[in-house]
């Protein structure tokens, strides 16, 4: 699996992102967010989690 993208990262491709664990695995009740061009990825529910393009 690819390394998750850290929260607060900007200049990512617009679209939907799924919250994943520190090593890219599934988390219970993951957040799904949609970002537009120029937006930053929001904080995750737990420190260490990241985002994966959905």
Domain ranges of the chain: 15-53
On the question of pLDDT at 14 being above 70, the answer is yes
| Sign of the torsion angle spanned by Cα atoms 31, 18, 20, 27 | positive
- Please give the model's pTM, rounded to 2 decimal places: 0.90
Residue 1 has a pLDDT of: 61
pLDDT in tens, 17-53: 999 999 999 999 999 999 999 999 999 999 999 999 9
Residue 44 has a pLDDT of: 97
Q: What dihedral angle (degrees, nearest 10) is formed by the CA atoms of 31, 33, 39, 42?
A: -10
Reported as a pLDDT band with limits 50, 70 and 90, residue 2 is confident
């Amino acid at each position: 699996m690819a390394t998750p993208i850290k929260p607060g990262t900007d200049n990512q491709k617009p679209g939907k992102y799924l919250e994943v664990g520190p090593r890219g695995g599934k988390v219970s009740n993951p957040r799904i967010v949609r970002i537009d061009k120029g937006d930053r990825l929001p904080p995750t529910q737990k420190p260490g989690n990241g985002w994966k393009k959905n």
